[in-house]
Structure 1
Amino acid sequence: MNKHEEEKKALEQAAIDIFLELYNINNPIALQMVRQQEKPDALLEDMNNESIGLEVTHLFYDMEEARLMMSRSELTKPGAEVLDNFIKVINDRIVSKELKFQDYSHDYPCMLLIRNVSLLFGMSDVLSFKHKLVQPSGMFTQVWLLSRDFTSDWLLINLYEVGGGGVK
């Protein structure tokens, strides 16, 4: 495994760990990780030994923000037009992951986890534009958004339950 793949796996593992902690606090049927893998990125299991896949994707606003984040620059709050573009990035990510879904194992259902690592946009920004979120097509049993809201705490929402109806 090369350095890039190792970094990608470490980012995925961190996202999975945060997801499982928040999911298990807020859901009556706990999940645990069985293993990291490819397509989907993780195999999880519930208390009834039922398997579920978890595909993980990380969301930066754009490459410039990714570079800024790595250098930990202070960033100013963007306007509504820029936020609208970020919502488009989320929508595009959902659609692209759904298109790749056919390549995943179908031995068990699969969820999608989108981890927002943007320093510019928090959970409240996404929720304020929820009416513009694309409604996931149903290929993934659940589509989760993991994001901070300008604090150190991570928040987790299921985009199927957010409402808004968004773009089809």
Structure 2
Amino acid sequence: MNRHEADKKALEQSAIDIFVELYNFNHKIPTRLLRQQEKPDAILEDANQNRKGLEVTHLFYDTEEARLLMSRSELALPKAEVLNQFIDVINERVVSKEKKYVDYSHDYPCALLIRNLSLVYGMSDVLRRKERLQLPRGHFTEVWLLSRDFTPDWLLINLYEIGS
């Protein structure tokens, strides 16, 4: 395994660990990581031995966000058009992952986990623009957003459940 693949696996492992911890905190039937793999990235198993695939994707901090961060006051909210672009990235990521879904193992239902690593946009930003989320209701049983909201704590929400 090369360095890039090892880094990707470590990033996925971290996202899965956080997801499982938060999921178990908020649900009666606990789940655990059974194994990491490819397509989907992980297989989870709950206490009733039900299995589910979990595909993990990340939204990264990039140079455009750095520019926005430098030009924005800590108390200012991002402008609507800039925040809309971020929501569009989430929408594009879901569509992209759904297109790849045909290559995944279909032994179990599969959920999508989107981990937001942005330093500029947090969970509250996504929730403020929830009406712009265009989540396909097809291949993935759930679409989870794992994000901070400008604190060290991670938050987890199923985007299908927030309504639009």
**Do the structures match in fold with TM over 0.5?**
yes
**Matched-pair identity in %:** 66
Partner of 2:98: 98
- Residue 108 of structure 2 aligns to a residue whose secondary structure is coil
For normalisation by structure 1, the TM-score amounts to 0.89
Question: Take 1:105 and 1:75, find their aligned partners in 2: how far apart are those partners?
Answer: 44
Matched, 1:33 2:33: yes
Aligned-residue Cα RMSD (Å) equals 1.6
Offset at residue 28 of structure 1 (A): 1.0
Question: Take 1:88 and 1:43, find their aligned partners in 2: how far apart are those partners?
Answer: 28
Question: Take 2:11 and 2:106, find their aligned partners in 1: how far apart are those partners?
Answer: 24
Question: Take 2:48 and 2:138, find their aligned partners in 1: how far apart are those partners?
Answer: 23
Long gaps (5+) in structure 2: none
Question: Take 1:80 and 1:27, find their aligned partners in 2: how far apart are those partners?
Answer: 34
Partner of 2:132: 132
Task: State the AA in 1 paired with 2:126.
Answer: V
How many residues end up aligned between the 2 structures?
A: 158
Task: State the AA in 1 paired with 2:95.
Answer: V
Partner of 1:142: 142
- Residue 161 of structure 2 aligns to a residue whose secondary structure is coil
Pairwise mapping of residues 1-168 of structure 1 onto structure 2 (< 5 A)? 1-60=1-60, 63-65=62-64, 68=66, 76=72, 78-164=78-164
Task: State the AA in 2 paired with 1:152.
Answer: P
For normalisation by structure 2, the TM-score amounts to 0.91
Question: Take 1:112 and 1:39, find their aligned partners in 2: how far apart are those partners?
Answer: 11
- Residue 157 of structure 1 aligns to a residue whose secondary structure is strand
Offset at residue 82 of structure 1 (A): 0.9
Relative to structure 1, the CA distance from residue 143 to residue 137 in structure 2 (aligned partners, 3 Å threshold; closer, same or farther) is same
Offset at residue 51 of structure 1 (A): 1.1
| CA deviation profile, 1:123-149 (whole Å, cap 9, x unmatched) | 000000000001332211110000000
| CA deviation profile, 1:90-112 (whole Å, cap 9, x unmatched) | 00000000111111000111110
- Residue 35 of structure 2 aligns to a residue whose secondary structure is strand
Offset at residue 75 of structure 1 (A): 7.0
